[in-house]
A and B are shown apart, each in its own frame.
Chain A
Amino acid sequence: MEPTIFDCEQLTVRELNVALRALPEGSSAVVLHPKGRHNMAVGMIKHLDITFEGSVGHYVGGLCDGVNIKVNGFCGWAGGENLMSGTIRVTGNASERVGASAHGGTIIVEGDASTRVGISLKGGTVAVAGDIGDFAMFMAQAGVLLVGGNIGEALGDSLYEAIVYVAGSVKSLGADARYEDMTASDVATVSNLCAVAGFTHINPNNVKRVASAKQLYNFDALKAQKY
């Protein structure tokens, strides 16, 4: 079926979102001239293929359940925030907080991503081909982050059960994050994720695993007495 074309020059963000929501399950849509507008394709709860021909603003694809979104350009703050299921792919660089609080689905960034990637991740998967900034995966509870390049400061501070795989270097780990040995199942996970994301530059046998040391899980009453 031919995709439905929407031109942002003729539509407000609200009109665009109402029109996208009215499409039947399984439809595809192309959005022209997005020009960095915020809140596009937010809260879509059916299977839709949506392609943005250009850069988008904040919160693209937030709160969606079942979408397949492609952004041909740059993505502003919190792309895929609270995603429930589906895929969001950004071909350019991404700004802060990619995949914040995502419960499910996969968010793929083909360029670099800025600070706070996967903050409070709750089960979603984030894959970044290039480098990412500081404070990634802060308090991430569940889910996976794969980074093909390097990571900035304070990775995985106060991490819960989420796992980070990184091919490049890490400037510093946050409190309670630690390196762990890769198991065969980790290699398989990275391998599958690379296939899904289309990343051919990562060798799954040559990535590091970062997870929680779980020392902050329980309050240590005796610790205070040391001071």
Chain B
Amino acid sequence: MCGIIGLHILDAELEPQLGTLAHAMLVQMSDRGPDSGGIAIYGDVATNGNLKYSCRSNIQDFDWNQLAHMLGAQLVRHGDGVVLIGAPGLQSQIESQGVSIVSTGVAIELFKETGSPTSVLNRFNIKSRVGYQAVGHTRLATESAITTDGSHPFSTHSDLSVVHNGSFSNYFSVKRDLEALGEKFLTDNDTEVAARLLGYEMQHGRDLGDALRVLQKTLDGFYTLLCATENEFAVARDSVSCKPAVIAVHDRYIAMSSEYRALAELPDIDSARVFEPAPNEIHVWTR
């Protein structure tokens, strides 16, 4: 199963409500994916050339203040969530302290964990978050272990987030090809392959829509994919389209989910154009 949700706000007046709305949407999809939950929040764009590093550590009572001080970075906490804002290129220094980097970018912050999606959302205070875009996932693991690294969204490249409902069948061969091109994988998860393929293509000059077209030709399987970058929000489906997808286009937002239930709580949803995207279609919205 798995459930996916996404909200791309067009009307800045709705930005203070991003967390509340995304929280309500993801809770509705909990029964599709009770194993793990995760969400990428886009907002509070870092300035002065800084990057935001979403971090997590398995070390109990890890001293984040000390790490931030050592890096000359600003520490921001969202419940159990940790975001360090600092200069580019701090990755290896952060990782050398026994810390995993969950995402890096100017706009993205990513929080994911095993456990019920509602508990995950509460742990990271998602309800209170302000921003312009959210991409979330509830997981029912089918092809790799239930771990934090294996939960979605996957953010393999700067500001990219990918969530997936479905499965890929030829991902091990695509993974080998990407490894030969220099991509380093953290998990055996099929969605990580999709995320790295998209990230690799975008690093080589494609936009998200074109990268998704490459993915459709390269990866075999059944899937609905929702992906976002700092300024793009995209939905792609496979040719058979047996995995669910519903899109709502409203003057104030674009929303996407596995089921309409998740969209029902959005403001003025009755005026939105609600439809299911066709097989092989790629929808991209750019801000």
0/1 string, B257-284, CB within 8 A of A gives 1: 0011111110001100111101100000
Beyond A115-B278, A133-B278, list 10 extra A-B contacts (CB 8 Å): A54-B264, A54-B270, A57-B261, A73-B270, A76-B260, A77-B244, A96-B241, A112-B275, A115-B241, A153-B279
> Closest residue of chain B to A34, judged by CB?
B264
**Contact (Cβ within 8 A) A114 B261:** no
A134 near B259 (CB under 8 angstroms)?
A: no
| CB pair B261 A37 closer than 8 Å | yes
Which of chain A's residues have a CB closer than 8 A to the CB of B259?
36, 57-58, 76
User: With contacts A54-B270, A57-B259, A95-B246 known, is A152 near B264, CB below 8 A?
Assistant: no
Q: How many residues of chain B have a CB within 8 Å of chain A? A: 18
Query: Are A95's CB and B276's CB within 8 A?
Result: yes
| Chain A residues whose CB sits within 8 angstroms of the CB of B244 once the complex forms | 77, 95
Q: How long is the Cα–Cα vector from A36 to B269 in the complex, in angstroms?
A: 11
A sample of 30 inter-chain contacts (CB < 8 A) reads A35-B261, A36-B259, A36-B264, A37-B261, A38-B261, A54-B264, A54-B270, A55-B260, A55-B270, A57-B259, A57-B260, A57-B261, A73-B270, A74-B246, A74-B274, A76-B246, A76-B259, A77-B244, A92-B274, A93-B273, A95-B246, A95-B276, A96-B276, A112-B275, A114-B275, A114-B276, A114-B278, A115-B241, A115-B276, A133-B276
Q: Residues of B at under 8 Å CB distance from A?
A: 241, 244, 246, 259-265, 269-270, 273-276, 278-279
- Taking a contact as CB atoms under 8 Å apart, the answer to whether A93 and B270 are in contact is no
Please report the total number of A residues contacting B with Cβ < 8 Å: 25
Option from B264, B276, B279 in Cβ contact (under 8 Å) with A55 = B264
Kindly state the separation between the CA atoms of A169 and B262 in the bound complex, as whole angstroms.
Answer: 34
Chain A residues in the interface with B (C-beta under 8 A): 35-38, 54-58, 73-74, 76-77, 92-93, 95-96, 111-112, 114-115, 133-134, 152-153
Interface pairs A-B: 10 shortest CB-CB:
A36-B260, A35-B264, A36-B261, A114-B276, A74-B274, A95-B276, A36-B264, A93-B275, A133-B278, A55-B260
Among A56, A58, A76, A152, the residue within 8 A (CB) of B278 is A152
CB within 8 A of B263: which of A36, A38, A56, A111?
Answer: A36
A36 to B24, CA, bound (A): 14
Are A55's CB and B274's CB within 8 A?
yes
Neighbouring B residues of A111 by C-beta, 8 Å:
275
Tell me the smallest distance from the CB of B18 to a CB of chain A, in Å: 21
- What chain B residues lie within 8 Å of A35 (beta carbons)? 261, 264-265
Whether B276 and A93, one on each chain, are in contact in the complex, defined by CB atoms closer than 8 angstroms, is yes
Interface pair A134/B278, CB less than 8 Å apart:
yes
